[in-house]
Each structure stands twice: as C-alpha cells, then as structure tokens.
A and B are shown apart, each in its own frame.
Chain A
Amino acid sequence: MKIILKVWRQKNQQDKGRFCEYILENVNRDMSFLEMLDMLNNQLVKEGNPAVEFDHDCREGICGQCGIMINGIAHGPLKNTTTCQLHMREFKDGDTIYVEPFKANAFPVVRDLKVDRSSLDNIIASGGYVSVDTGQAPEANSIPITHQEAEDAFDAAACIGCGACVASCKNSSAALFTGAKITHLARLPQGEKESATRTLTMVDKMEEEGFGHCSNTEACQVECPENISVLNIARMNYEYNRAKLLFKK
C-alpha cells in the first residue's frame, strides 16, 4: 500500500518545527506502525537525509516508550493500544497520516517525535515507592490481602507511563498517571501506611513539573493503552483531601 506521511520535524527544543511530507510505496499492511517508520528512516538514510527520531523499546506494548500522536490521537486510531502494537492494516491505501510528538509543557521535544518524559519519572521518584528495609523476601502469606484488592491494585499498577493520558488531556494533566501510582500503592497493605505522605509529595511534584489540572473529561482512560480507570484520579483526590485534612506532620 501507498502511504503519504506528514511527519513533524524539529531539530531541538528551540526550533519551531514543521511537517515534512514523505511518500512511502509498498508498505506491507502487516507491518507495525514503528516498522513503517523504520522503513521511512531506511529510505531517508539511503537518500543521505537525517532519520526521523522516535522513542521505542520493547515493541511488545509493555514498556511505554513509544508514544506519538497519529492523526491527532495518542497512539493512533486503535483504542487501548500502544503505537508499536498498531498495524498498517488499520489504514487504507493512499491514506495521509499526520505524525506528531506528544505536546505538553512538561514534555519538551528532544528532536522530531522524541519527547523528554522525565517529569513522569520525577513524580515516581518523589514518593511512588514503599519504604521498607530490604533483606530476605518475606513470606508471602504473612500479609493478608483479599484477591479482589490485589487485582484492583494490579489494575492500577498496569500503567506503563507512556504519557498518552497527558497528551490526550485538554489540560495536559498527569492526574491519571499519578492517580494510578497512588492508588496502586494505597490499595496494598505494604503501601497504605505511607499513603498520606506519598500522596502529598507526589501531587506537589506533579504540580511542580507543570502539568495541568484534571477536569474529568475522561479522555485519558479512553486513549490509555492499559485502559487505566479514571476512578484512580478520584482515589488520588480522596487520598489527597484526607491527608490534607487529617494527616499530622
């Protein structure tokens, strides 16, 4: 199939950036979207042009590295899928595809489609962990937890931190990401003890990194590759309010 690509090219953070048009012939419909970009890069390098830079790692839909706007939607038209798991069969022969990086103040563009998502790591580093002494692995059954609680915590833990929630949000809010991390740990017996301090520091960090507020449009869940529930945001708000009102410093 023939694909007309309009790819965002930007040299660095200071550069204004623009769309460049590339025509790809003989694209296999079973190629993944990233393989199609590899094909484009092959063609560009052969012609002596700089390759289009984009993030990718596992290409199995679990690492959260690949994240681009495809035709104005984070990770493209297929719902609950990462860019690497999107295949060219979702497009038609002769289609024009716009490819842009995620855009948010907290995600500065490094080059072309690659953005710096360290701000999400900084939120995790601020409190997204459990402070326990390391040592021997504890006996699993010594800490009682119901199956349902463990499942719910795991649903929140499924977040791969790709940033599609931020990119899909009209306010560039990282509430779904932060909410998922806070809920994941607050639901587990090991994590709930530090829930108040964790929530306060993580929410403050989220603010500091320059993310916007949540207005509950729920677009983040719709575009999230892992379908992380927006109720995690409500849980974050609950934990935050409770900590603000009741937590003794």
Chain B
Amino acid sequence: MIWFIKNSVTRKNLMALTGLFLSFFLIVHLAGNLQLLLPEAQARLQYNSYSQFLGGNPIVLIISFVLYACIILHTIDAIYLGIKRKKANGVSYSKDMRGRASTWYSRHMMALGIIVFVFLIIHFKDYWYIYKFGSLPLDENGNKDLYTLVIVSFEQLWYVIIYIIAIVALGYHLLHGVFSAHRTIGLYHPVYNSIIKVLGVIFALVISIGYIIIPIFIYINHQV
C-alpha cells in the first residue's frame, strides 16, 4: 500500500515523522545503555533486569512494533525517493561542481543511511535475535545475561571499530536529518528554525558521543 503514495511532499512527511520517532528512540536507548558504564557487579544485574523489564512490558512491546515499522517505512521511503531522484535527474552533468553549495552529509544521506542500516542488521542479529530467540545463561537474579554478551563483543577491537564507524555515520545522518525533518513537516518560522538547527547539532553530538563512549570504555576496562 505504501507504494501508492506518489506525492513526494507526503513521502517526505513520512520520512520525517519516522525519522523523528527513531531519533527519539535513540535517546531512550542511550539512556538504557549508559547503565553499562556502572561498576561491573552492579551494571550486570541492573542492565539484565532492565532488559528483562523491557522484554516483559506490554507497552514497551507495542512501542517496539512501532519502532520496527518506523525502520521499515523509513527504509522503503528512502528507496522510493532514491528511484524518483534518479528519474528526475535524467542525464548527469559532465562537469559538476554543485557540491560547493551544500554540506557533503546532506547530499549523502542515502549512503549514510545504508551504513546505519547494515549496522542495524548486525546489531539486531548480535543482540536482539540472541536475546529473543537464542539461549543465554542466567545471572544471579534469574534474568538473561545480556550484559556479558555485550561486554564480550566489545572486548574485540574490530567490533568496537565497526561500531564507531556506524555511530559516526549515524551522527552525520542526524546532523542533517533532525533539522531537515522539521522543515519537511512545515516549520517555517525563522526563529524556531535557528533554534532547531542548533538543537539538531547538539542532539547529533550528544547521541554520537554517548554511543561511542560505551564501547571504548568497555574495551579499555577489559584489557588484560
């Protein structure tokens, strides 16, 4: 059904709203993940019981379905608009210097999005799938020991590097995406636009730094 919406303004609205929901989710997810920075014994029990709480809560379950839907819709929209762009552009320029007028990340949202999407697949496979459908040992409180799974993965340098690359891509995606989404849904007042632009930069920075600190902290702390 989603393929029937042909109007690109409506398409972009969908892209903006799903993007904003995903951005909001990043805050909640980061807040949960920051528990990994607590002292090890406390972090293990607290993080596992937090995961158990999320897994068993019906409201969280509904929100998680909205989240999956947003990821899928955001991706389908990107593919649709990508095809449309190719058609609208027609023949490309032989000498193209148009890049001087805009930031590189605003022009390459698709490429940044692909990096984030590939990372999401790895991320879902390594944690979400194992937690939901795999077998994990239990901790002292009888909760699935997701904490140890996370720690073991971040003890490997290559995994930390992949994680950081993905988060940097995500950071640039947000740097353009957050303010662009507000424009798309129709925020035209110059004052609010300036505020959103600054808040968007702060948001992208806080999210990227927040997510990058975690694997680095774990990697350094678990070196023998």
- B88 lies within 8 A of A210 (CB): yes
Chain B residue nearest to A167 in the complex (CB): B98
Apart from A171-B88, A234-B193, 18 more pairs, CB < 8 Å: A69-B95, A73-B97, A73-B101, A100-B93, A103-B89, A168-B101, A171-B84, A172-B85, A172-B90, A204-B7, A213-B85, A218-B102, A219-B98, A231-B190, A234-B183, A237-B184, A238-B185, A244-B10
A residues within 8 Å of B by Cβ?
6, 8, 19, 69, 71-74, 98, 100, 103-106, 168, 170-173, 203-204, 207, 210-220, 222-223, 230-242, 244
Q: Does B49 contact A (CB under 8 A)?
A: no
Chain B residue nearest to A173 in the complex (CB): B88
Given contacts A69-B95, A222-B101, contact A212 B186 (CB under 8 A): no
Given contacts A105-B87, A203-B9, A222-B101, contact A72 B93 (CB under 8 A): yes
- B81 lies within 8 A of A103 (CB): no
In the assembled complex, 29 residue pairs joining A and B whose CB atoms fall closer than 8 Å, in A order, are: A6-B95, A71-B97, A72-B97, A73-B100, A98-B94, A103-B91, A104-B89, A105-B88, A105-B90, A170-B89, A170-B107, A171-B89, A172-B90, A207-B8, A212-B85, A213-B85, A214-B184, A215-B109, A216-B106, A216-B183, A217-B101, A218-B102, A231-B183, A237-B13, A237-B186, A237-B188, A238-B185, A239-B186, A240-B9
Size bracket, chain B contacts? 35 or more
Give the distance to chain A from B111, nearest Cβ to Cβ, in Å. Answer: 12
- A219 lies within 8 A of B188 (CB): no
Binary contact track B20-53/A, C-beta < 8 Å → 1, others 0: 0000000000000000000000000000000000
The CA-CA distance from A19 to B95 in the complex, in Å, is: 10
The CA-CA distance from A23 to B51 in the complex, in Å, is: 72
Chain B residue nearest to A224 in the complex (CB): B101
Chain B residue nearest to A242 in the complex (CB): B186
A207 contacts which chain B residues (CB < 8 A)?
Answer: 6-8
Give the distance to chain B from A233, nearest Cβ to Cβ, in Å. Answer: 7
- B89 lies within 8 A of A219 (CB): no
Q: Does B57 contact A (CB under 8 A)?
A: no
- B88 lies within 8 A of A106 (CB): yes
Q: Does B180 contact A (CB under 8 A)?
A: yes
- B97 lies within 8 A of A238 (CB): no
A210 contacts which chain B residues (CB < 8 A)?
Answer: 87-88
- A215 lies within 8 A of B180 (CB): yes
- A241 lies within 8 A of B13 (CB): yes
The CA-CA distance from A15 to B187 in the complex, in Å, is: 44
- B84 lies within 8 A of A219 (CB): no
Would you list the 10 A-B pairs with minimal beta carbon distance, nearest first?
A238-B186, A72-B97, A212-B88, A213-B8, A219-B101, A234-B188, A222-B101, A217-B102, A105-B90, A216-B180
The CA-CA distance from A53 to B7 in the complex, in Å, is: 35
The CA-CA distance from A216 to B15 in the complex, in Å, is: 13
B179 contacts which chain A residues (CB < 8 A)?
Answer: 216
Chain A residue nearest to B88 in the complex (CB): A212
- A168 lies within 8 A of B98 (CB): yes
Q: Does B103 contact A (CB under 8 A)?
A: yes
The CA-CA distance from A73 to B11 in the complex, in Å, is: 29
Give the distance to chain A from B125, nearest Cβ to Cβ, in Å. Answer: 30
Q: Does B140 contact A (CB under 8 A)?
A: no
Q: Does B74 contact A (CB under 8 A)?
A: no
A234 contacts which chain B residues (CB < 8 A)?
Answer: 183-184, 186-188, 193
Chain B residue nearest to A240 in the complex (CB): B9
